[in-house]
Amino acid sequence: MLLPILHYPDKRLRTKAKPITEVNDAIRTLVKDMFETMYDAPGIGLAATQVDHHIRLIVIDTSEDKSQPLCLINPQIIEKDGELEWDEGCLSVPNYYECVTRANHIKVSALNEQGKKFELEAEELLGVCIQHEIDHLDGILFVDHLSKLKQRRLLEKTRKSKK
């Protein structure tokens, strides 16, 4: 089922997500719906916060052919190093892209949709995507990494387009 995606500056995007205490069928259904929504958008990552579910869940697929779905429940970055700039976009901030500085290499710990713990090392696009989506779970948008001037311009542009 396709889920509605919240758009900036919706205040619900600032909600800090709560940890998932039990990985059950309801969570697995949400994971399935989030993948469907992300692929349809189209995007490469989606946080539960963006579809108005304020729990620590993200889905990602950075492959060209949608063949590498990755679900991270209660993700935590446990190591990060290096620095890289990446041109980022966001399904909650449509048609807007800006260069953001992130860690180049990360190690993340999470649960999969069966509730099994795993660790994953990622860099470049996958690493950037994981960091971007974890930010969503903490109520942070990629535009928060931009200068105040760029943030103000985006807000004005967004408000004008809604009129």
| Catalytic status, residue 64 | no
72: number of Cβ within 10 Å:
25
Catalytic entry in 83, 113, 133, 156: 133
Residue type, 8: Y
Handedness of CA 67, 26, 14, 104 (dihedral sign): negative
* 151 φ/ψ angles, rounded to the nearest 5 degrees: -65, -45
- 91 three-state secondary structure: coil
**Residues acting as catalytic residues:** 133
